[in-house]
Amino acid sequence: MSATAKRHAEEVTWPHCRSGAATAEISGMTSAPVIDVERLNLSYGDFHAVRDLTFHVRRGEFYALLGTNGAGKTSTLEIIEGHRTATSGAVRVFGQSPRARRAVRPRMGIMLQESGFSPDLTVRESVRLIGRLTERTDQVDRVLGVVDLTHKAGTKVSQLSGGEKRRLDFATAVYGTPELIFLDEPTTGLDIQSRDDLWDAVDRLREDGSTVVLTTHYLEEAQQRADRIGLMHKGTFHREGTVADLTRTLPSVIRFTLPVPAPVLPLQATRKNDGKFVVETFALNKDLHTLLGWAQDNAVDLRDLEAGPTRLDDVFRAIGN
Amino acid sequence: MLTIAFSELVQIFRNRLVLVTSLVIPVAVSAFFVSRHEVFAELGGLGYIAAVVVFTVAAFGLYTTTVTTLASRRQNLFLKRLRSTAASDAGILSGLLLPITVITLVQVTAILAVFAGVTGTPANVPLLVAAVAATVVMMLGLGLATAGLTNSPEHAQVTTLPISIGTIAVASWVGLTGTEELTLLKRLLPGGAATELVGNAWDGGVAVPDSLVLLAPTLGWVVVAVALASRFFRWEPRR
């Protein structure tokens, strides 16, 4: 079952696992936006951190907010979380102001970019404190198990490594399986195993119907998981859409070197300073097939051949250029 | 609020620096005044000693710990973390400040009880309670305001000095010299009217309505402190 089909199936079945108003709302309007941002602006004096930003996140969606440094994604996220007030525009979370904490916060989990735990409390005490304040119900031991911190339950936060603090942060965000989870740079400082464990936990939350909003500098994480991506630059969206939407505007690239002399190429190519030939194409399969056929027919050895679809990294670099 | 308060109490008892500054030093200074009460009573009367004890605990215990705690919790983003939950701002502040407030009240009560045991009971206990309560609220308000101007716990060692030293100095000045001269100035200074009120409650001899008027300047400082706090208090470090 594909991830999308699986999610669709979950949307149909998972309301039986939840209770109260959330169930009624979900069963009634599965496509209603969980987050509604309209013409959002945020200024610090003369500096416009966010400009006229509009987007929506649907229930069950994995939405990635990406951007260059200083693009405004953390400011945007903090407004949606209710930590910051917009200069103008409207933000609704579950149809309400994100600053209506008592109404909104029990339904959302927030993993902050930086730790924010008291160094004198233990891991267990920290999870219990924040968990209780979210007004969701869960078992501290279960949550510690999810992030593999059970063996550190009695350790003071001041004695944790950076990666363990990130896992603790994640634990408080997912306490009680919230309907909406904000992950702000969640894997920064985590080793490979911890990253995999974290994403496995996120996958399980999604199977339970949770909506995820992610910011990260690890583009491959967004490329692999996000249903849609908002690509920010200088306070507003440079592009928004699926990975395919974002990458299809840039050509794929085929790189190779040729022996000298060589027959005339069947494709338009540019020769770079390092001697490599570069073919930019929107029809990667067809052109690669043509090139390989030409090489075989002419007994040409295509050295250092590289070819691949356009990646999110390429879209990012295009912004910078 | 109680969840945060319990957590804060745990943190106070685990942090030796806070434990010493908020518990040990005020008690030690107060114990000195009580043990030498005959000397100090000759200088300013028993009411003066009671006032100095109240302000020593309120300034070094309550006020300094309030500023240090809030600056520390803001610096390590604990305030932001708490605001990521369903807790209200008022609930967060109340929870953070409840333990040290209770500790202060217990300290003041215990020290004054010992003092009363040594020198005799105060003339008007309800008035003394009102004076202590007003002083505690004023120092909490000033603590909130000062926390807004304090970037870190280390910075708090500097920013708390003017008010902590100032209020004890005012208490000593008013307690030792009385308010017959420079009456308005002494009563308007932070801690001046409260010192006179504690003195009246302990020593007696002043009509209760005349003493109750002395609550007004103290409560006035509460209003000023809350206004300053609402203007300057920050939940996150400056970027």
Give the 3-state secondary structure percentages of chain A, helix then strand then coil, rounded to 5: 40, 25, 35
May I ask the CATH architecture of the domain A3-246? 3-Layer(aba) Sandwich (3.40)
Alpha-carbon distance values, A149 to A125, A195, A200, A235, B11 (Å) = 13, 14, 16, 37, 21
Whether B187 is in a domain gets the answer: yes
List the strands of the sheet with A108-111, edge to edge.
A108-111, A180-184, A211-215, A62-67, A228-233, A236-241
Q: Which of residues 144-173 of A touch B (CB under 8 A)?
A: 172
Whether B239 is in a domain gets the answer: no
B7, closest residue in chain A (CA to CA)? A129
B60, B140 contact by CB (below 8 A): no
The per-residue pLDDT for A28 is 35
A124, closest residue in chain B (CA to CA)? B7
pTM of the predicted structure, to 2 decimals: 0.83
Task: Report the complex ipTM.
Answer: 0.86
The per-residue pLDDT for A321 is 65
pLDDT digits (tens, 9 = 90+) for B93-104: 999 999 999 999
Alpha-carbon distance values, B158 to A319, B64, B68, B144 (Å) = 47, 10, 11, 15
Whether B56 is in a domain gets the answer: yes
pLDDT digits (tens, 9 = 90+) for A253-265: 899 998 877 778 8
Least CB–CB distance from A117: residue in B15, B78, B83:
B78
Whether the CB of A117 is below 8 Å from some CB of chain B: the reply is: yes
Range of the domain at B100: 2-232
Whether the CB of A116 is below 8 Å from some CB of chain B: the reply is: yes
Whether B117 is in a domain gets the answer: yes
pLDDT digits (tens, 9 = 90+) for B26-59: 889 888 888 888 888 788 788 889 999 999 999 9
Return the domain boundaries, chain A: 3-246, 249-320
State the smallest CA–CA distance between residue A225 and chain B in angstroms: 25
Residue with structure tokens 């930086």? A114
The number of domains in chain B is 1
**Mean pLDDT, chain A, integer:** 85
Count chain A–chain B contacts defined by CB atoms under 8 A.
67
Give the residues of chain B that fall short of pLDDT 70: 239
A160, A152 contact by CB (below 8 A): yes
Least CB–CB distance from B11: residue in A83, A118, A134:
A118
Contact A112 B4 (CB under 8 A): no
Distance CA A305, CA B71 (A): 58
A126: three-class secondary structure by DSSP:
helix
- Give first-to-last CA distance, chain B, whole Å: 28
Alpha-carbon distance values, B76 to A125, A284, B73 (Å) = 17, 50, 6
Give the residues of chain A that fall short of pLDDT 70: 1-31, 320-321
